[in-house]
A and B are shown apart, each in its own frame.
Chain A
Amino acid sequence: MELMKSENIVQDRQPQPQEEEEIMQQEEEEEQRFHVLAVDDSVIDRKLLEKLLKASSYQVTCVESGEKALEYLGLLHHSSPASSSSQHHHQGHKVNLIMTDFSMPGTSGYDLLKRIKGSSWKDVPVVVMSSENVPSRISIRCLEGGAEEFMLKPLQLSDLHKIQAHLLKSLPHS
């Protein structure tokens, strides 16, 4: 009985040739789409940002903290990830843009920004977001720290063109 069950499982795991082609096509399409890493401790703002970015057909990964973002980027244990050919590919991840909330508990948006800019991910554009008008010394500090832009939340559909501009800037030069 058990032998038969495991046989069935093996059979189910082998995709048909047609499905294989579809999967490969899907993976190719995903490779071509921009991938945004969104960092925000607010569950509502994550959902909002995800929807907003998906509306532009971007791939989105949302994480809830600076620590989780560092983990995703392979920067959590202070070791530099193995470098690879493309400036945006590490750890098997491709990241074209990082959008982070400014005020988060633990690792703040500014801390995250500095860590990113001091790592092999330094060429990935970073946008910092805040839910309120921060004093200009703070937004300037972020810009001097390497952020592309400081944006006010909640983000709107009309802000997407700014995001697209940063993504297009990030394309490798030939």
Chain B
Amino acid sequence: MDRYGMQNQIACIRRSLFDQGYLDEQFIQLEELQDDANPNFVQEIVTLFYTDSTRLIQNIELTLTSRPTNFSKLDDYMHQFKGSSSSIGAKKVTSECAVFRQYCAAGNAEACIRSFQHIKQEHAILRKKLEFYFQMMGQAAVAQTT
């Protein structure tokens, strides 16, 4: 594919991420912060998010299995998770976190467990999509130099 075709494809991928509600305007903020001094800023911060949130997921999982359910601890973890996902513009992940916190506040352990499955799902889906997006951008960058 020629470089213009690639750039069009990348633009389409990016637009669909917003149209389908995976990303919100905070992601655009990240893009606007990227500059020549930090040409990989968006990818770096997304990578940082996935490293950090993986740790949080493990902690939440552990806390969900212990009885009695420590809702206060769960809420703390989820507050962090929601904050981070909101900071990178991960729209669906953030809203699932909000749902979890409502069940947490209501002391509904079963609903928390179900909600957590949704969070992990959205977390994984977004990861795949962003990885593909960054991969395409990397390929386009190479194509531009050849």
Partners in one complex: yes
A110 and B82 alpha carbons, distance in the complex (Å): 21
CB contacts (< 8 Å) of A44 on chain B: these are: 45, 48-49, 52, 83-84, 87-88
CB contacts (< 8 Å) of A45 on chain B: these are: 83-84, 87
Q: Would B45 and A48 count as touching, CB distance under 8 A?
A: yes
Contact of A131 among B48, B76, B83, B88 (CB under 8 A): B83
Chain A proximity mask over B55-97: 1 for CB below 8 Å, otherwise 0: 0000000000000000000001001101110111000000000
CB contacts (< 8 Å) of B86 on chain A: these are: 131, 153-154
Tell me if B32 is interfacial: C-beta within 8 Å of chain A: yes
Sort chain B's interface into a size bin: 20 to 34
Q: Would B79 and A131 count as touching, CB distance under 8 A?
A: yes
Residues A147-163 near B (CB distance < 8 A)? 153-154, 156-157
Residues B21-76 near A (CB distance < 8 A)? 26, 29-30, 32-33, 35, 38, 41, 44-45, 48-49, 52, 76
Known A-B contacts A42-B84, A51-B41, A131-B86; the reply to A154 vs B26 at CB < 8 A is yes
Tell me if A47 is interfacial: C-beta within 8 Å of chain B: yes
CB distance from A108 to the nearest CB of B (A): 13
A153 and B82 alpha carbons, distance in the complex (Å): 11
Contact of A42 among B33, B38, B41, B80 (CB under 8 A): B80
Chain B residue at smallest Cβ distance from A43: B52
Enumerate 30 A-B pairs (CB-CB under 8 Å) in ascending A order.
Answer: A41-B80, A42-B52, A42-B80, A42-B83, A42-B84, A42-B87, A44-B48, A44-B87, A44-B88, A45-B83, A47-B44, A48-B30, A48-B33, A51-B33, A51-B38, A52-B33, A55-B33, A103-B79, A105-B76, A131-B82, A131-B86, A131-B87, A132-B82, A132-B83, A153-B83, A153-B86, A154-B26, A154-B29, A156-B26, A157-B29
CB contacts (< 8 Å) of B79 on chain A: these are: 103, 131-132
Residues A49-88 near B (CB distance < 8 A)? 51-52, 55
CB contacts (< 8 Å) of A52 on chain B: these are: 33
Q: Would B52 and A156 count as touching, CB distance under 8 A?
A: no
Shortest 10 CB-CB contacts between residues of A and residues of B: A131-B83, A154-B87, A44-B84, A51-B33, A44-B87, A156-B29, A44-B49, A45-B87, A154-B26, A43-B52
Chain B residue at smallest Cβ distance from A49: B87
CB contacts (< 8 Å) of A47 on chain B: these are: 44-45, 48
Chain A proximity mask over B96-117: 1 for CB below 8 Å, otherwise 0: 0000000000000000000000
CB contacts (< 8 Å) of B48 on chain A: these are: 43-44, 47
Q: Would A157 and B49 count as touching, CB distance under 8 A?
A: no
